[in-house]
Amino acid sequence: MQLGFVSAIFPEFSLEQVLSFARDAGFASVELMCWPPGKAERRYAGVTHLDATDLSAGAIKATHDLVAKYGVAISGVGYYPNALSPNLEEAETAQAHIRRVIDLAAALGVGRMNTFVGRDHTKSIDDNWPRFLEVWRPILDHADAKGVKVGIENCPMSFGKDEWPGGKNLAVSPAVWRRMFADIPSPNFGLNFDPSHFVLQHMDYIAPLAEFKGRIFHAHAKDVRIDRAKLDQLGVFAYPNSWHSPKLPGQGDVRWGAFLGALADAGYDGHLAVEVEDRAFEGSLQARKDSLVISRRYLEQFVVGQRGGVGSGS
Amino acid sequence: MQLGFVSAIFPEFSLEQVLSFARDAGFASVELMCWPPGKAERRYAGVTHLDATDLSAGAIKATHDLVAKYGVAISGVGYYPNALSPNLEEAETAQAHIRRVIDLAAALGVGRMNTFVGRDHTKSIDDNWPRFLEVWRPILDHADAKGVKVGIENCPMSFGKDEWPGGKNLAVSPAVWRRMFADIPSPNFGLNFDPSHFVLQHMDYIAPLAEFKGRIFHAHAKDVRIDRAKLDQLGVFAYPNSWHSPKLPGQGDVRWGAFLGALADAGYDGHLAVEVEDRAFEGSLQARKDSLVISRRYLEQFVVGQRGGVGSGS
Amino acid sequence: MQLGFVSAIFPEFSLEQVLSFARDAGFASVELMCWPPGKAERRYAGVTHLDATDLSAGAIKATHDLVAKYGVAISGVGYYPNALSPNLEEAETAQAHIRRVIDLAAALGVGRMNTFVGRDHTKSIDDNWPRFLEVWRPILDHADAKGVKVGIENCPMSFGKDEWPGGKNLAVSPAVWRRMFADIPSPNFGLNFDPSHFVLQHMDYIAPLAEFKGRIFHAHAKDVRIDRAKLDQLGVFAYPNSWHSPKLPGQGDVRWGAFLGALADAGYDGHLAVEVEDRAFEGSLQARKDSLVISRRYLEQFVVGQRGGVGSGS
Amino acid sequence: MQLGFVSAIFPEFSLEQVLSFARDAGFASVELMCWPPGKAERRYAGVTHLDATDLSAGAIKATHDLVAKYGVAISGVGYYPNALSPNLEEAETAQAHIRRVIDLAAALGVGRMNTFVGRDHTKSIDDNWPRFLEVWRPILDHADAKGVKVGIENCPMSFGKDEWPGGKNLAVSPAVWRRMFADIPSPNFGLNFDPSHFVLQHMDYIAPLAEFKGRIFHAHAKDVRIDRAKLDQLGVFAYPNSWHSPKLPGQGDVRWGAFLGALADAGYDGHLAVEVEDRAFEGSLQARKDSLVISRRYLEQFVVGQRGGVGSGS
Amino acid sequence: MQLGFVSAIFPEFSLEQVLSFARDAGFASVELMCWPPGKAERRYAGVTHLDATDLSAGAIKATHDLVAKYGVAISGVGYYPNALSPNLEEAETAQAHIRRVIDLAAALGVGRMNTFVGRDHTKSIDDNWPRFLEVWRPILDHADAKGVKVGIENCPMSFGKDEWPGGKNLAVSPAVWRRMFADIPSPNFGLNFDPSHFVLQHMDYIAPLAEFKGRIFHAHAKDVRIDRAKLDQLGVFAYPNSWHSPKLPGQGDVRWGAFLGALADAGYDGHLAVEVEDRAFEGSLQARKDSLVISRRYLEQFVVGQRGGVGSGS
Amino acid sequence: MQLGFVSAIFPEFSLEQVLSFARDAGFASVELMCWPPGKAERRYAGVTHLDATDLSAGAIKATHDLVAKYGVAISGVGYYPNALSPNLEEAETAQAHIRRVIDLAAALGVGRMNTFVGRDHTKSIDDNWPRFLEVWRPILDHADAKGVKVGIENCPMSFGKDEWPGGKNLAVSPAVWRRMFADIPSPNFGLNFDPSHFVLQHMDYIAPLAEFKGRIFHAHAKDVRIDRAKLDQLGVFAYPNSWHSPKLPGQGDVRWGAFLGALADAGYDGHLAVEVEDRAFEGSLQARKDSLVISRRYLEQFVVGQRGGVGSGS
C-alpha cells in the first residue's frame, strides 16, 4: 500500500503547493478534491484542487506536468456532495458534477473517483431506495462507459442537528452495500473504505474486508475515539458529534495493525489516504502539516508507504 | 427490595387472576396496567387491570379486598402512552388519562404511578422541549396536589419504522433527566429505572444510581442482548429492533449482581417489577407464566424478593 | 426447556432407582444409558439402564409403568460407542447396537436416541469420510424407517493418550456438521448439543444455534474450565486432559445465561440433560447426588426445568 | 461444602436465637463469635455467642444440647483480635483469650478456631516478624497439644485512619503464608480463606487454592466491589475504605462459580460461612436476616449447602 | 508537542554534552536537572546540569549561548527534593533551593520549574496538610512574583522501605490536586503530568486531562508495567517496587495513543520529556543513550516531536 | 537488541546480495540459511546462503570479507530439518548436516547455530523421547567440543496434513524445555525464541522469559493472527493452517511492546531476526523487501536495532 492524504486539509493551497508538501512530507500520493470551482457562482462548493469543469488538453497536461515534477501520484479524485439531497437544486448540482469528476478521472488516466451516494436525511433507507436507484444507475452507466471506478465512502454523514436523523449518505454498512451492489451490479461500483465509520457505528471493520475485497477501490485512514464518559450521559441515539471525536490514526479506537494486516490479506495494494479531522490539530497551518507527518510516521510501521522499495522506504 | 412483575404480560387475565398468579408464583407485588378501558370507545388503549375511570368507593374497596385476599402488593399503577404525540387527539387522551391514573394512585393509597413523558418522534429533543414543559408542568402540579410520585421509565421507545427517528419518550438519559428535574423541580417527578434501556443505548447503568438516588421511585427488571453479529452488519443507526433482543433477566447483557448491589447502595428498597418481552417466551400462556417463574428464581439470588423475612424468603 | 440428567452418573442404580432419584431431586427427565447389557458376554460395554436387546412388550410395558410411577420423562436413550473404530469388531458391535437402540427409542415412543458418529482416531477427518458415509447412510435409513431422531453429540472424544491424535468422534464442529448433513440429508440426523465441547475447542457456541436450530434434538449441560496455568505450560496441542477440567454448570467457562437464552431464541424447547464429569464430585454416591442437585439449582435460574407451570416451578 | 454464616451479624441474639435463625433460614452451620464476655470488665471485646471463659461440663453440655436441638453445626469458633497490637495490654488480652478459644474448640469437639495473627500496624512486615514468631510459636504449641486447627483469616485489616498504614493482620498474601508456614511448621496452622480480601488487594484468589489446599481449614463468603470511580480519584494508596465496598456474595467482584469450583477441586469440603458487612443491609435486624437469606440462595447454586443429600438439598 | 528528555539520565555529562546528545539524537528539548551543586558541601544533592546558585549575567549568557549553539530548548528546570521531609534540615535545604530554581527559571526566561511538593512520609495526607500550606503558600507567592510556573509531578514517591508508608510527595491524585489548587489558588501552581504514576496507583489517566487542562505545565513520558505474577503473590499494599517495573514508553501499561490524543485534546502543546528508569537500559552509557533513541522513535508516531514542521519532522 | 532477518526470504539471492540488502535496508544482522547445497545431489534441501560443506580457510575468509564489506553481522547460522524424521535417510542427513553447521558456526566465530530438534510426527512426545536423547546427546557433545550454542526454535511445525498429527519438532513448550534441559544439561543447549508459536498454541509468551533467560540464544520476530471466524467453525484440533495466518510483526496477536520489554528485562541483548511468512507479502521480490522494511520500522520503536548508538539509531 502507498500512503497519501486527502487534500481537503489544505483549502488555501494551490495544487502545486499540495503536491510540493506531499513530496516534502514523504507521501506517495494525494486524493485531490474536485468540488465545483468559483467563488461567485458556486453554491454547495468545497475545496477545489482540480477543476473538473476544465478538461481541456492544456489543463490535463498541466496537471500531469505537476504530478511528474513532484513525483507524487493522484490516488483518486474526490468530491463528496449529497446527490440525493431533498434540496433538488443541490442534488442536481451534485449529480452533474459527479459526472464531470468521473470524466476528469478518465481524462487524467487516474481511473478512480471517490464520493458519497448521498441520502435524503429526512427519510429512512427504504424510502430513499427508489430514488437512489433512479439517480445512480445512470451515473454508473456513465462510469462504465468511461472506465472509471467509483468508490463510495462508508461515512454515515450523521453528526449533529443538520444531518439529523438519517445522515446524508446511504452506504454505511455491509447490509446496505450488498443491496447496492445487487441492485446496481456494475464492476465500477465499489467502496472508499474508512474503518473509523465502523467504530462510530459500533461495528466490526475486519470481517467485511474479505467479503468485499474486490469492491475496495480506495481507503481512508482516519481514526475516531468513542468518548465513553459522554456516551454514558447521552446514549448512542444522541447526535454522534456529542459522543465521539475524530482523531489521527493511532490516537482513536481503530486497531490499525489488525486492520491493515487484514486489508493486505484481502489483496488490497492501493492507496491509503490519511484524512485528518482531529480538532486538536486545527489551530494553524503548521498544526495541520504536523498532523499529516505524525500520521505518516504512525502508518509507516504497518505499510511500506511509498512506491519502489528499500531506498524510498527506509 | 420486593419482587413483582408488570401485569401487561397477562392481557387476558382479570385483576383477580393476576393477583392469584402472583401469589402462587411467589411474587410480592404487581405493577398494574391502567390503560383506558372499554373496547368500543377506546383508541390508544392497552391492558386494563385497574380502571382509572372508576374511582368510586366501591371500586377502590373491591381492589383493596382483592389485594388483601391474595396478600400481594401493588407496586405502582402503570400507563405508558405518548403524551407528546404529534397526533393531538392521542396526546390529549394520554394527558387526561395520566391525570386519572394519578388520581387512582392517590385513591388507592399506592402513591406511585409509572409512565413515559412521551415525545413527538419526528422532532429533536430540543424541539420537543417547550411542549414538554407546557404539558408536564401542570401534570406535576396535579401530582403534587395529590401527593403521588410519577416515575418516568427511561425507555427510548425507539424500535422500528413506526417510532423512527426519535422514539416516543424523551426521558432516556442522565443528560435529559438533569434538564427535566431542573426545569420541573417537583419532588414527585422521578424515575421508573430500567437498566436494559441503558444497554440498548450503550450506556453505563451503574453510575447514575448514586446521582439520581432520591429520584428512583420504581424499577423494572428487563434484560436485553445486543446481537453483535447483526449490529456488525447494520450499525447502531439502524432500527434498534434489528440489532437487539429483549430477554429475561440473566439472559441478556445486564450484569444484575452489580446493578442490584449498586441499587441497594443507593438506598433503594422498593419494588423491582419483572417486565418480560422475550420473544422466546411468547408462544403460550404457560410460557409467559414460566418466564416469570424463571425470572423470579434468577432475581431472588440478589434480592430478598418478598415482604417479611426468613419464613417467606426461604 | 425441561431439566434432566444423564443416567451414566449412577452405574450402580437400577432404572427404578434412577427414576426415583430424579423425581426426588426435582428433575423432569432422564437420558437413559443403553449400553449392551450383560457382564459375561459384553465387551465395549458401559452403563445399562435400559436393555435394547429386549424389546418385548413386557419389557416396554415395565419401563412405561416405572416412568408413569415416578412422573419422570425419558429425554432420550443414549449409547455413545465408536462405530468407526479401527477395531472392526468394536465398530460392528457399535453399529449393530445403535440400530437396536433406535428400535428401542421407537418401541418406547421416545423417538430420540443420542450417540457419537465415531472416528478412526488414527486418521484425519477426510480419511474417515468414505467409511463414515458407508456406515451411517444405512443407519439413518433405519432411523428414517423407524421415525427416530438421532442426535449426535459434538464431543471430540479426545482427552489423552488413548484417543490421540484424532479423537473418537468426527462430529465436532459446524464445519463438519454442514458436511454431514449435506452428505446424509435425513431429517432424523441431528445434534445432541453440548456447549462445553466448544469451550474445549476454543470455539463460539452461541452463533451455531441459529444456523442449526432445526437440527438440535437434545442438549447436554456440562461445563469445562480451561486451566490457563497448565495451558500456558503445554499448549493446545498437548493432550486436552492436561489443560482442562470438566466442571458442574456454572463453575466453568460456559456463559449459561447467554447460551440458554440463545438456545431458547433458536426455538429449542426440549430437554436439557445435566452431564456431570466433575472430579470434585466423584468421591461418593452422595457427592454425585449433590452434584446433580447443585446443577439443577444453578440451571433453574435460566430454564423452567419442569413440566407444567407455576406449581411445579416454584 | 456446607453453608453457614458468621454469628457476628447478630450481636443482640443469644446462642439459641442464632441457632434457631440458622435452622429456619436453611443454614447448615454457624461460625460462633467468642469474644471475651462481660460488659463491666471487658475492654477489646466484641460479640460473644460462646463464652470461652467457662469450659465447665455444664456449659459444654448446654451448647451441645442447643446444637442438637436445632440441628445446626458449629463450623468453627471465632475470635479476631490483634495479638500483635502495639498496645501491650490489648495484645496480651488477645493472646490469652486466643488460648481459651482454642481450649473451647477442643472442649466442644469442634477442633477449629479462626482468628487473625495480628500486626503492629505502625511497622513493616519484616519489623513485625520477630515478635510474630515469639507470640505465635507457643500458641501453635498449645493448639498442637489440644489438637485444634487454627485458621488465620487473610484479611489485611486495613480500612481507614485507625489501621493506617500497615493494617492489623500480617497474614494477607501467599508470600506471607509461605513464610509463616515455613517458620511455624505446625500442621494445625492454616487459613480461614476469604476471597474478598484478594479482590481488595488486586490479587488472584484462584491459583493459591491448589498450593495451599491442605492449609484451608475454613472459608468465608464475603464479596467486595472495587469502586472504580472513587479509585480513579484517589489511587490504591489512599485508605481502602475510600475506594471499595463490602457486598453480599454475587454483588461484588468475586467470580463465585470459578472460585467455588476451584475450591472444590482443591479438595475442600468443609464449611463456607457467609460474612455480611454490606452497608446496604445494615438498616434493621430484618435487613440483616434478609442479607443472609439472599446470600444462601446465591451460594446454593454452587454448593450443596446442607448436610445430607437430596432431601435437604432440594 | 515537542519531545525532550529528563537530563538526570546523564549524571556524568556536562550541560554541553547533554545538549549535544539531544541535538544528535533528534530531541527538541531537555528538562535540565538543577540539584544543589558541589561535592564537598552538598547533602541531599543530585544531578546538576544548571547551577541555580549562580544567576550571574555571565552564567545565564553561557547557558543561552549553549542552547543557541545546539538548537535545543529547555523544557523546564527540574529539582525534585522533599520540601516536607521530617528531617528539618533536608526540608529547609529543599525549600531554599526550590526558590533558587524558580529564580533560575525566571532569569533564563524558561518560566517553568518542576518539582514535588514533598511529604512527611510517616504521616497521613491530612496530617501533612497544615505544614504543606505553611511551606508552599510562600513558595507560590515567590513564583507569582517571578512569573514562574511550578509544575508538581504526580509521583507518589513510594517504592520501598525508605519511603514507607506514605511516600515522599503529596500530589498524587485528582482528589489531592483539587484540594491543593483550592487552598493555594495561584495560577502558577500546576502539574508536571506523568501517566505512569496513575498506572502504578491503578487509576485512569485520561479523564483528569480535561478537568486539569489549564494546570498542565509540563509532561513526562515514562511507562510502568504492573507485574501481575508478583502482585498476585504480594498484593497492592506491599512495597510498590516489589510488584511493578519502570519501562520505556510503549513497553509498559500506558496506552500512549489514547493518552497523547487526549492530552492534545486538552489543548496541551508543550514539551513531553522522556524519563527513563528502565533497569533493562541501565547497564552502560550506550544503553542509556539507546533507551532515549528508542523512546523518541516510539513517541514520534504520536507527536510531531520537534519544532518547526515538515522538514524537521520527517 | 540488534535487528536482523532470516535469509530464507531471499532464496534467489547470493550471500552478497543478502548482505547488501541488509545494509541498505538498515538491518544490523542476518541469520544465514545453511541447508545442504547442490541442486543435483540434494534431497531434503532448502536455502543455502552459507555452504557448511566447505569449511576451507578460503571459504571462511570469503565470508568474513563480505561481512566486513557490508558491515552486517551474522546473528546465527540456521538449518531447520527434521533430525527425528521417521524417514531414516532424512533423519541421518539432517543429523550429519547439523554437525557440519555447528562446525561452520565455530569456524566463522559466530558461535551460534539455530535448528529444530525434530520429531517423528506420527508418535507422541513420550514415544519420541528415547530416540530424541539418543540423537541429541552426541550432537550436544559435539557442540560442547566446538563451543557452539545450539538454539532450538520453539515452532510446533504442525500446519496441515503433511505434519499431522504431531508436528515435526518436539521443543514446543516450557514443559518440554524443562525435560530437554534436565535430560541433556549442556550449557550450549538453548532456545531460538519465537513468540508467535506461543500465540498459535494459545500460551503466554511473557512468563517463560524470566525462567529460561539464560537459555535464550537467539530470537525470531514473527507474528501470527488467530482467525477467530475460522476457529469458530473448526476448533483448535483442526489443521492449524486452517485457523491462523502468519503476519508481519505488529499485524498479528503478539503484543510486541510487552514482549520485547520483558525480553530486555530477562537480560537478552542479542539479535532479533525478523522472519516473514505473511502471504500478503509473497507476491514479488519487491513485496518481500517491503515486508522487511515495514517490519524493521515497526520493531525499531521497541529496540535500538543497530549496533552503535545515536548516529546509527536515529
pLDDT bucket at A309, cuts 50 / 70 / 90: very low
User: For residues C190 and C181, what is the distance between their CA atoms, to the nearest angstrom?
Assistant: 8
Q: Which helix (H) or strand (E) holds B33?
A: strand B29-33
The alpha carbon of residue B300 is apart from the nearest alpha carbon of chain D, in Å, by 7
The alpha carbon of residue C286 is apart from the nearest alpha carbon of chain D, in Å, by 6
pLDDT bucket at C43, cuts 50 / 70 / 90: low
Whole-number pLDDT of residue D305: 85
Q: Express each pLDDT in A191-241 by its tens digit.
A: 999 999 999 999 999 999 999 999 999 999 999 999 999 999 999 999 999
Instruction: Tell whether F279 is within 8 A of chain A (Cβ).
Output: yes
User: For residues B231 and F13, what is the distance between their CA atoms, to the nearest angstrom?
Assistant: 49
Subunits that touch chain A (at least 3 Cβ pairs < 8 angstroms)?
Answer: B, E, F
- Contact partners, residue D294, CB within 8 Å, separation at least 6: B300, B301, B302, B303, B304, B313, D248
Q: Express each pLDDT in D179-212 by its tens digit.
A: 999 999 999 999 999 999 999 999 999 999 999 9
Q: Express each pLDDT in B182-204 by its tens digit.
A: 999 999 999 999 999 999 999 99
The alpha carbon of residue A160 is apart from the nearest alpha carbon of chain B, in Å, by 11
pLDDT bucket at D313, cuts 50 / 70 / 90: very low
Instruction: Tell whether A207 is within 8 A of chain F (Cβ).
Output: yes
Q: Are A112 and A104 in contact (CB under 8 A)?
A: no
Instruction: Tell whether C248 is within 8 A of chain D (Cβ).
Output: yes
Delineate the domains of chain D, giving CATH numbers in brackets.
Answer: 2-299 (3.20.20.150)
Instruction: Tell whether D312 is within 8 A of chain B (Cβ).
Output: no
| Bond into F240 cis (ω within 30) | no
Strand partners, E78: E33, E114
Instruction: Tell whether A258 is within 8 A of chain F (Cβ).
Output: yes
The alpha carbon of residue E297 is apart from the nearest alpha carbon of chain F, in Å, by 5
Instruction: Tell whether C251 is within 8 A of chain D (Cβ).
Output: yes
With CB atoms and an 8 Å threshold, state whether D233 touches E174. yes
User: For residues C299 and D3, what is the distance between their CA atoms, to the nearest angstrom?
Assistant: 19
Whole-number pLDDT of residue A311: 41
The CA–CA distances, whole Å, from E234 to B226, D175, E158, E231 equal 39, 6, 16, 5
Q: Are E306 and E3 in contact (CB under 8 A)?
A: yes
Chain C residue with minimal CA distance to F199? C235
Whole-number pLDDT of residue F38: 72
> Chain A residues with CB inside 8 Å of B172's CB?
235, 237
B-E interface (Cβ pairs under 8 Å ≥ 3): no
Subunits that touch chain D (at least 3 Cβ pairs < 8 angstroms)?
Answer: B, C, E
Q: Taking 80 as the threshold, does the pLDDT of residue A38 lie above it?
A: no
> Chain A residues with CB inside 8 Å of B237's CB?
156, 158, 167, 172, 201
Q: Express each pLDDT in A161-194 by its tens digit.
A: 999 999 999 999 999 999 999 999 999 999 999 9
Chain A residue with minimal CA distance to B197? A235
The alpha carbon of residue B28 is apart from the nearest alpha carbon of chain C, in Å, by 14
* Alpha-helical segments (H) within chain F: 15-24, 57-70, 88-108, 125-146, 174-183, 196-200, 207-211, 228-234, 256-265, 285-299, 310-313
Q: Are D14 and D66 in contact (CB under 8 A)?
A: no
The CA–CA distances, whole Å, from D197 to A226, D31, D247, D311, E133 equal 34, 19, 12, 35, 36
Q: Indicate the residue of F258, F301, F308 with minimum beta-carbon distance to E298.
A: F301
Whole-number pLDDT of residue C45: 63
| Mutation to test the F interface, candidates A300, A310, A312, A314, most F Cβ within 10 Å | A310
Chain B residue with minimal CA distance to D225? B258
With CB atoms and an 8 Å threshold, state whether D235 touches E207. no
The CA–CA distances, whole Å, from B209 to A190, B40, D228, D240, D294 equal 47, 43, 14, 22, 21
The alpha carbon of residue D16 is apart from the nearest alpha carbon of chain C, in Å, by 29
F-B interface (Cβ pairs under 8 Å ≥ 3): no
Chain D residue with minimal CA distance to E158? D237
What pTM was estimated for this model as a whole?
Answer: 0.95
- Beta-strand relationship, D223-226 and D244-247: antiparallel
> Chain C residues with CB inside 8 Å of D308's CB?
286
Instruction: Tell whether E258 is within 8 A of chain F (Cβ).
Output: no
> Chain D residues with CB inside 8 Å of E198's CB?
235
Instruction: Tell whether C304 is within 8 A of chain B (Cβ).
Output: yes
> Chain B residues with CB inside 8 Å of D225's CB?
258, 261-262
With CB atoms and an 8 Å threshold, state whether C236 touches F202. yes
ipTM of the complex: 0.94
The alpha carbon of residue D204 is apart from the nearest alpha carbon of chain E, in Å, by 5
Q: Express each pLDDT in E40-81 by its tens digit.
A: 455 556 899 999 999 999 999 999 999 999 999 999 999 999
The alpha carbon of residue C240 is apart from the nearest alpha carbon of chain B, in Å, by 30
> Chain B residues with CB inside 8 Å of D245's CB?
265
A-C interface (Cβ pairs under 8 Å ≥ 3): no
Q: Express each pLDDT in C251-262 by its tens digit.
A: 999 999 999 999
Mean pLDDT of chain B: 94
Q: Are E150 and E115 in contact (CB under 8 A)?
A: yes
DSSP secondary structure code for residue A204 in this structure:
-
| Mutation to test the C interface, candidates F233, F241, F244, F253, most C Cβ within 10 Å | F233
Residuewise pLDDT in 10s, chain F (314 residues): 999 999 999 999 999 999 999 999 999 999 999 999 875 455 556 899 999 999 999 999 999 999 999 999 999 999 999 999 999 999 999 999 999 999 999 999 999 999 999 999 999 999 999 999 999 999 999 999 999 999 999 999 999 999 999 999 999 999 999 999 999 999 999 999 999 999 999 999 999 999 999 999 999 999 999 999 999 999 999 999 999 999 999 999 999 999 999 999 999 999 999 999 999 999 999 999 999 999 999 999 999 987 544 443 33
The widest CA-to-CA distance across chain B, in whole angstroms, is 57
Q: Are B105 and B145 in contact (CB under 8 A)?
A: no
